[in-house]
Amino acid sequence: MSKRDDPDLETLAWQSLAVRGGIHRTPEGEHSEPIFTTSSYVFDSAEHAAARFAGDEPGNVYSRYTNPTVRSFEERLAALEGAEACVATASGMSAILSTCMALLKAGDHVICSRDVFGTTRTLFAKYLANFGVEVTFVPLLPLSGWRDALRENTRLLYLETPSNPLCEVADLRAMANIAGNGGALLVVDNCFCTPALQRPLDFGADVVIHSATKFLDGQGRCVGGAVLGSAQLMDEVTGFLRSCGPTMSAFNAWVFLKGLETLSLRMTAHSAAALELATWLESQVGVEQVFYAGLDTHPGHGLAAQQQSAFGGVLSFRVRGGREEAWRVIDATRLMSLTANLGDAKTTIVHPATTTHSRISAQERQEAGITDNLIRVAVGLEDVNDLKADLARGLALLD
């Protein structure tokens, strides 16, 4: 390998790492990263095989354990999050499950934000509870609720910031202190910001979770996830993956590896368009309230400006009226995709109360602010004027 294949990564800036991190060029001299679609690996001799299996010699044995394309993705994402280690997983949910299975045992207590991705709630409330893990859900804010919920056996605090869909912002440094003082780990799902906008480990979080399905891919092609943190914690998570199997495929790792190269450019564009759309929405007669941390009217604005480099691509707003009016605005769109997914080049629009948040009770929805007149938009990469026109059509029906 020539020196050109092995740049001194320590000296490189973030965007250079996004393009150059985790490259292990083969003797073929390929420029783009190869996809290693192989389940197993061959050895030179019986002795060689024995050494690999014993771990005396580093190298690949089987792709549930290690795969070179997956390793490239893990190394690149670790560099971008400022993490010692990264473990790629089959999906965002399996990243969360693997973290829990590796770090928790029966009798442990978890505090989870009420304002997390719906399936995350199900994972904690139903499946972990079945295995004797106690879970308390608290509103993301105020943070004193977390302190009050701490117990002797609290092992893990779990949150997303900014929250979905109301963009509430939690102080990561304060949360890391609450967790640390309680002898617990702080786990942050960084799916909405990505390391292009926010690096929770820099503020003292212990573990970062990703659904790579969203902005890391950025074009809605693959399902995948990742867990990041100290080498010690990630060894535990790796152990779970090797024995239980929710690993990432080489092809998906390659798609995400390519996604990381343009991540920062995309997040900047998503954020700029979302801010412009949120500002425009605030001036519309048919709109009652807009939720986007980039607006200085948003209570989380100052904090988000400190711990994020931009405000991200997801916003929500309440129309004047109720469910009927919200549906009318959604149904009048022609450009935006009506889907619950987000983090795509294509803008998506959804009615949270009857889709993403339909499985929680009406009272829980009320408490969480998921009213019937709320609409969420995950701003893509189209021209923002076309997005305004798409929403204007429906809003005009309300005036």
Shortest distance in whole angstroms from residue 189 CB to ligand PLP: 5
Amino acid at 100: C
Shortest distance in whole angstroms from residue 304 CB to ligand PLP: 16
Shortest distance in whole angstroms from residue 229 CB to ligand PLP: 17
Distant-in-sequence, close-in-space partners of 121: CB < 8 Å, separation ≥ 6: 112, 114, 137, 360
Contact flag: residue 225 with ligand PLP (CB under 6 A): yes
Q: Which stretch binds ligand PLP (CB under 6 A): 124-132, 211-219, 230-238, 321-329?
A: 211-219
Shortest distance in whole angstroms from residue 169 CB to ligand PLP: 15
Q: Is the peptide bond before 142 cis (omega within 30 degrees of 0)?
A: yes
| Cα torsion angle, 193, 195, 199, 200, sign | positive
Segments of the chain assigned E as strands: 85-89, 109-113, 134-138, 154-160, 185-189, 207-211, 225-229, 287-291, 314-319, 337-338, 348-350, 374-378
What CA–CA distance (Å, rounded) separates 228 from 79? 10
Cα–Cα distances (Å) from 61 to 42, 66, 219, in that order, read 8, 7, 32
> Nearest-CB residue to ligand PLP?
92
Shortest distance in whole angstroms from residue 240 CB to ligand PLP: 16
What CA–CA distance (Å, rounded) separates 215 from 198? 13
Contact flag: residue 356 with ligand PLP (CB under 6 A): no
Task: Give the one residue of 161, 213, 271, 348 binding ligand PLP; rule: CB under 6 A.
Answer: 213
250 within 8 A of 63, measured Cβ to Cβ: yes
Contact flag: residue 155 with ligand PLP (CB under 6 A): no
Contact flag: residue 249 with ligand PLP (CB under 6 A): no
* Coil vs helix vs strand at 214: coil
Q: Which stretch binds ligand PLP (CB under 6 A): 25-33, 69-77, 141-149, 209-217?
A: 209-217
| Of residues 319 and 377, the one with the C-beta less far from ligand PLP | 377
| Cα torsion angle, 100, 105, 111, 114, sign | positive
* Residue 289 backbone dihedrals phi, psi, to 5 degrees: -155, 145
Contact flag: residue 91 with ligand PLP (CB under 6 A): yes
Contact flag: residue 223 with ligand PLP (CB under 6 A): yes
| Of residues 291 and 398, the one with the C-beta less far from ligand PLP | 291
Contact flag: residue 89 with ligand PLP (CB under 6 A): no
How many binding residues for ligand PLP (CB under 6 A)?
13
Q: Which stretch binds ligand PLP (CB under 6 A): 28-36, 207-215, 278-286, 303-311?
A: 207-215
| Of residues 120 and 316, the one with the C-beta less far from ligand PLP | 120
Distant-in-sequence, close-in-space partners of 194: CB < 8 Å, separation ≥ 6: 210, 215, 216, 263, 267
Which residues contact ligand PLP by CB under 6 A?
91-93, 117, 120, 160, 189, 191, 211, 213-214, 223, 225
